[in-house]
């Protein structure tokens, strides 16, 4: 009975758009959902560094290298804010990291595709960060305070990432025939995986209804996917590239683009661990975690030393 009253009060608070803070009462399932979503999001930022990191040494000039380096460092920062936000819910980041390293935690499907050419770096910025912004701007209004606040800075940085990606693609698309082909091939490779980033269709999204009622999610997966298509198709047209979808057509009645069917079999295959790069990504993350052990040990030894000095002084 007491729980029922608390749940009613909790929902009333959400309905008044009051943010939930770490020490406030919340239903266990709300806490669990947030830990799941925020940690998957953090893992995505961390694994997302790998496909782009692959091109830092091969960026075509110093300006491109500096921008890419800064972008990849931003992703690391996003991962850290998000792990911190998850920790306010009573979990330890080392446990979350272990779930990523042993392959039991999910991270965004998109990062299991390879970056084959420099144009893929442009396509990731343009399409992947573009999709990320649409999904994440509404998260600045998510009901859990620490997550919402972390997303404000993340979105500002993602917006810069999207522009630098579009500028790379635009430069290639305005270049010679070989460069145009690189840009078109990258769009062909990344278009469909970018649409899959928004998650399963609304009919198959098991968490959406509850997450929308709790105001964790503000818009459905299909709504955001449609918004992405509507905004991105004119951007492709503007630089003379064609979207690889023969069913793509403006629908006057709906006021939206109609687009072709998504290959959901491919999506589920990738999130089950069988995408083109899943194994490689986990292997690289594990190797890097192992190589960084001395840094973690040194940092905690330093923290212990500082704490014991404080104790002696007291
Ligand atoms: N990939 O019921 P649903 C970034 C899972 S970072 C893998 O619709 P939900 C960036 C889903 O987790 C991009 N798995 O779930 C970084 C669930 O599995 P579990 C990441 C996916 O949570 C660096 C199951 O499918 N962004 O953009 O209501 C550089 C059923 O789905 C995917 C975020 O994490 C996927 N694409 O909605 C550049 C944003 N989609 O947990 C860019 C925050 C679904 O039941 N997250 N699944 O085992 C969200 O907004 C939501 O979690 C999602 C999914 C829209 C992604």
Query: Is the CB of residue 40 below 6 angstroms from any atom belonging to ligand 1?
Result: yes
Distance from chain centroid for Cα 272: 18
DSSP-derived secondary structure for the chain: -HHHHHHHHHHHHHHTTPPB-TTS---HHHHHHHHHHHHHHHHHHHHTHHHHHTTTTT-SSHHHHHHHHHHHHHHHHHHHHHHHHHHTTT--HHHHHHHHHTT-S---GGGGS---SHHHHHHIIIIIHHHHHHHHTGGGG-SBHHHHHHHHHHHHHHHHHHHHHHHHHHHHHTS-HHHHHHHHHHHHHHHHHHHHTT-S-GGG-TTHHHHHHTTS-SS-HHHHHHHHHHHHHHHHHHTT---S-TT-EEETTTTEEE-PPP-HHHHHHIIIIISSSHHHHHHHHHHHHHHTHHHHHHHHHHHHHHHHHHHHH-
pLDDT at 314 over 80: no
> Whose alpha carbon is nearest atom 21 of ligand 1?
199
pLDDT in tens, 240-267: 999 999 999 999 999 999 999 999 999 9
268 C-alpha to ligand 1 centroid (Å) = 12
**20, 143 Cβ separation under 8 angstroms:** yes
Query: Is the CB of residue 108 below 6 angstroms from any atom belonging to ligand 1?
Result: yes
> 256 has which bridge partners?
251
pLDDT in tens, 179-235: 999 999 999 999 999 999 999 999 999 999 999 999 999 999 999 999 999 999 999
Distance from chain centroid for Cα 65: 22
pLDDT at 1 over 90: no
Give the Cα separation of 164 and 122 in Å (integer): 7
Return the pLDDT at 3: 79
What is the average per-residue pLDDT within 21-42? 97
Question: Average per-residue pLDDT in the chain?
Answer: 96
250 C-alpha to ligand 1 centroid (Å) = 28
Query: Is the CB of residue 36 below 6 angstroms from any atom belonging to ligand 1?
Result: yes
> Whose alpha carbon is nearest atom 16 of ligand 1?
45
Query: Could you tell me the two tokens for 256?
Result: 């939206």
Give the Cα separation of 108 and 97 in Å (integer): 15
| pTM beyond 0.85, yes or no | yes
107 C-alpha to ligand 1 centroid (Å) = 7
180 C-alpha to ligand 1 centroid (Å) = 32
pLDDT more than 70, % of the chain: 100
How far CA 75 is from CA of 22, 23, 45, 47, 246, in Å, comes to: 24, 28, 5, 9, 34
pLDDT in tens, 77-97: 999 999 999 999 999 999 999
Query: Is the CB of residue 129 below 6 angstroms from any atom belonging to ligand 1?
Result: yes
Query: Is the CB of residue 128 below 6 angstroms from any atom belonging to ligand 1?
Result: yes
Query: Is the CB of residue 197 below 6 angstroms from any atom belonging to ligand 1?
Result: yes
176 C-alpha to ligand 1 centroid (Å) = 38
Give the Cα separation of 117 and 296 in Å (integer): 34
């Amino acid at each position: 009975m007491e729980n029922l009253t608390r749940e009613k009060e909790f929902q009333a608070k959400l309905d008044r758009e009051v943010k939930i803070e770490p020490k406030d009462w919340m239903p266990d399932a709300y806490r669990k959902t947030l830990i799941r979503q925020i940690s998957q999001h953090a893992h995505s930022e961390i694994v997302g560094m790998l496909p782009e990191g692959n091109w830092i040494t091969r960026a075509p000039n110093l300006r491109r290298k500096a921008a890419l380096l800064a972008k990849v460092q931003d992703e690391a920062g996003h991962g850290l804010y998000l792990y911190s936000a998850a920790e306010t819910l009573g979990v330890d980041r080392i446990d979350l990291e272990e779930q990523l390293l042993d392959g039991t935690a999910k991270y965004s499907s998109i990062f299991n595709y390879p970056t084959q050419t420099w144009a893929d770096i442009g396509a990731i910025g343009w399409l992947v960060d573009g999709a990320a912004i649409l999904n994440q701007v509404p998260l600045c209004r998510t009901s859990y305070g620490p997550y919402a606040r972390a997303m404000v800075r993340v979105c500002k940085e993602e917006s810069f990432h999207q522009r630098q990606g579009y500028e790379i693609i635009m430069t290639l698309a305005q270049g010679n025939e070989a460069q145009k082909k690189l840009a078109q091939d990258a769009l062909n490779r990344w278009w469909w995986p970018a649409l899959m980033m928004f998650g399963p269709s609304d009919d198959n999204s098991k968490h959406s209804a509850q997450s929308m009622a709790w105001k964790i999610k503000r818009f459905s997966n299909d709504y955001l996917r449609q918004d992405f298509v509507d905004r991105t198709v004119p951007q492709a047209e503007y630089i003379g590239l064609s979207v690889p979808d023969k069913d793509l057509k403006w629908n006057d009645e709906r006021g939206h683009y109609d687009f072709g069917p998504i290959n959901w079999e491919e999506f589920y295959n990738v999130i089950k661990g069988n995408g083109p790069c899943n194994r490689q990504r986990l292997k690289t993350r594990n190797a890097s975690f192992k190589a960084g052990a001395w840094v973690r040990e040194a940092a905690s030894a330093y923290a212990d030393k500082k704490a014991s000095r404080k104790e002696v002084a007291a």
